[in-house]
């Protein structure tokens, strides 16, 4: 298979998986938040509301596309497209797994392996301000303008500590290619502790991991940093004037950015697709075990249903999980899919954190937000960078 065909196939697969993930991430968020708030969440459309994302998509697509008369038409339309395009573009360089062989074709699970992949991601993230800023300006409304202003200031400000945090991780990995960054984190100290960058000698990057995560919250305009769209102050901020699919585009961009951020954190700090503990300790059985356990829980709840229809649906779910577990027991499949499982698990865990934080933390005030990054986050990241540089320079051979 030649390069272009392969790329197209991979792009199509990635797009399909990504779109589904985006849609269902929305569902997961609503469910988790609902449970945090002791509610049920979506449950009408399909079993456990599983068809809710589909319904939402249909709703948004068929709604009337309203363009207010006072807006700058060109930019008003451009902004959401810019936002979503840039958000999706970043997936071009994200590696999800090692090289695998499917149907006789060896290829990395990644669209393209740029040698400046990280710089590319930084560039994309720095440009993605425009989507929000232009949307706010083009809407020609006070709330939108304020939201746009806030978001551009916020994103520029948080980009700095984020880049610095990334740089200190880079000092340990010594490359800008995301794939190589993951490769350098292979192996275990004392046979147990993974050589991920947050545990990495000579200077564990726990601090920069935390800084990066906080900045990722701000970059994606998520709570507790969602001031650009603070409902009770700005109605909805930069997307007040948007409706139907353009409105959805902003949401897609936000969730895509969330996934990118979490994937990047996984790659840079959590060792990418490398398992939590070595294979000789049974790491290769973990996927199967997890799915088996999930099936067991589903089956238990099916046997003791909270609602009548659970008696029918949950056993089916359990069987699906068990089948997956069996699938992961096959060596060939395991070799190909276990890394993806680990990657997805870590990213998913971080995404859960995003949702969890949204469900628990209140919103910052704007001056607090700015002071936090300039007077606390940035100095911390800077100090961490200097300390890392110093330690790496002093002990170049330890790794």
Partner 1 sequence: MDAILFFVFAVIAVACAANLVVQTHPIAGALSLIGVMGSLAVLYLLLGGEFIAAVQVIVYAGAIMVLFVFVIMLLNAGAERPVGRSVVARYLGVPVLVIFLGLLSYVIQSMLPASEAVRFGGFDGGAPAEVGRLLFTRYLLPFEVTSVLILVAILGAVVLGRKEL
The least distance separating partner 1 from the CB of residue 113, rounded to whole angstroms, comes to: 13
Between residues 152 and 184, which has the closer beta carbon with respect to partner 1? 152
Of residues 159, 219, 226, 310, which one binds partner 1 by CB under 8 A? 159
Identify each DSSP E strand in the chain by its residue range: 97-102, 105-109, 188-189, 193-194
| Residue 119 contacts partner 1 per CB under 8 A | yes
Distance CA 267, CA 270 (A): 6
Binding mask 294-323 for partner 1 (x = CB under 8 A): ------------------------------
Closest approach, Cβ 161 to partner 1, in A, equals 14
Pairing of strands 188-189, 97-102: unpaired
CA atoms of 314 and 297, how far apart (whole Å): 9
Residue from the set 149, 294, 297, 336 that interacts with partner 1 by CB under 8 A: 149
How far apart CA 247 and CA 200 sit, in angstroms, is 42
What x-and-dash track marks residues 64-83 binding partner 1 by CB under 8 A? Answer: -----------x--------
Q: Where are the alpha helices (DSSP H) in 185-285?
A: 206-219, 231-234, 244-269
| Residue in 27, 130, 225, 321 binding partner 1, rule: CB under 8 A | 130
116 binds partner 1 (CB under 8 A): yes
Please identify, using beta-carbon distances, which residue of 148 and 272 lies nearer to partner 1.
Answer: 148
Rounded distance between C-alpha atoms, residue 15 and residue 354, angstroms: 23
Among 133, 207, 263, 267, binds partner 1 (CB under 8 A): 133
CB of 118 to partner 1, least distance (A): 9
CB 321 within 8 A of CB 298: yes
Instruction: Give the C-alpha separation, 156 to 151, whole Å.
Output: 8
Closest alpha carbon to 344 in 1, 109, 70, 101: 109
Applying CB under 8 A, the site for partner 1 has a residue count of 24
CB of 195 to partner 1, least distance (A): 22
As measured in angstroms, the least distance from the Cβ of 172 to partner 1 is 16
Tokens of 324: 């997956």
Q: From the list 43, 107, 112, 126, which residue makes contact with partner 1 (rule: CB under 8 A)?
A: 126
Q: Choose which of 16, 17, 105, 156 interacts with partner 1 (CB under 8 A).
A: 156
305: part of which helix (H) or strand (E)?
none
CA distances for 166 relative to 129, 206, 207, 209, angstroms: 19, 12, 11, 8
| Nearer CB in complex with partner 1: 149/235 | 149
- Report the alpha-carbon distance of residue 151 to residue 250 in Å, rounded: 13
Residue numbers of the site for partner 1 (CB under 8 A)? Answer: 75, 115-116, 119-120, 122-123, 125-127, 129-130, 133-134, 136-137, 145, 148-149, 152-153, 156, 159, 176
């Amino acid at each position: 298979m030649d390069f272009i065909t392969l790329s197209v196939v991979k792009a199509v697969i990635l797009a399909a998986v990504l779109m589904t993930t985006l849609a269902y991430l929305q569902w997961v968020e609503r469910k988790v938040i609902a449970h945090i708030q002791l509610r049920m969440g979506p449950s009408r459309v399909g079993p456990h509301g599983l068809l809710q994302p589909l319904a939402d998509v249909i709703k948004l697509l068929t709604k009337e596309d309203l363009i207010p008369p006072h807006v700058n038409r060109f930019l008003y339309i451009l902004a959401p497209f810019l936002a979503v395009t840039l958000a999706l573009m970043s997936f071009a360089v994200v590696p999800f797994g090692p090289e695998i062989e499917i149907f006789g074709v060896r290829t990395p699970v990644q669209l393209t392996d740029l040698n400046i992949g990280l710089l590319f991601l930084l560039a994309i993230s720095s440009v993605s301000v425009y989507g929000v800023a232009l949307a706010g300006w083009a809407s020609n409304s006070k709330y939108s303008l304020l939201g746009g202003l806030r978001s551009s200031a916020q994103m520029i400000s948080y980009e700095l500590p984020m880049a610095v945090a990334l740089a200190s991780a880079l000092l340990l990995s010594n490359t800008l290619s995301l794939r190589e960054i993951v490769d350098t984190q292979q192996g275990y100290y004392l046979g147990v502790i993974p050589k991920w960058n947050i545990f990495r000698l000579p200077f564990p990057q726990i601090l920069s991991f935390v800084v990066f995560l906080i900045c990722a919250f701000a970059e994606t305009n998520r709570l507790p940093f969602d001031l650009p769209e603070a409902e009770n102050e700005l109605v909805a901020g930069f997307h007040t004037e948007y409706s139907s699919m353009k409105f959805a585009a902003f949401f897609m961009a936000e969730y895509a950015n969330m996934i990118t951020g979490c994937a990047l954190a996984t790659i840079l700090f959590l060792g990418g697709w490398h398992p939590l503990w070595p294979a000789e300790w049974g790491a290769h059985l973990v996927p199967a075990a997890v799915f088996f356990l999930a099936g067991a829980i589903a089956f238990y709840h099916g046997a003791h249903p909270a609602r009548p229809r659970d008696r029918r649906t949950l056993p089916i779910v359990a069987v699906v999980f068990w089948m997956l577990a069996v699938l992961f027991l096959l060596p060939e499949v395991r070799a190909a899919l276990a890394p993806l499982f680990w990657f997805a698990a870590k990213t998913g865990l971080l995404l859960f954190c995003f949702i969890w934080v949204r469900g628990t933390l209140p919103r910052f005030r704007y001056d607090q937000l700015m002071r936090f990054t300039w007077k606390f986050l940035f100095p911390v990241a800077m100090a961490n960078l200097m300390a890392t540089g110093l330690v790496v320079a002093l002990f170049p051979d330890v790794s």
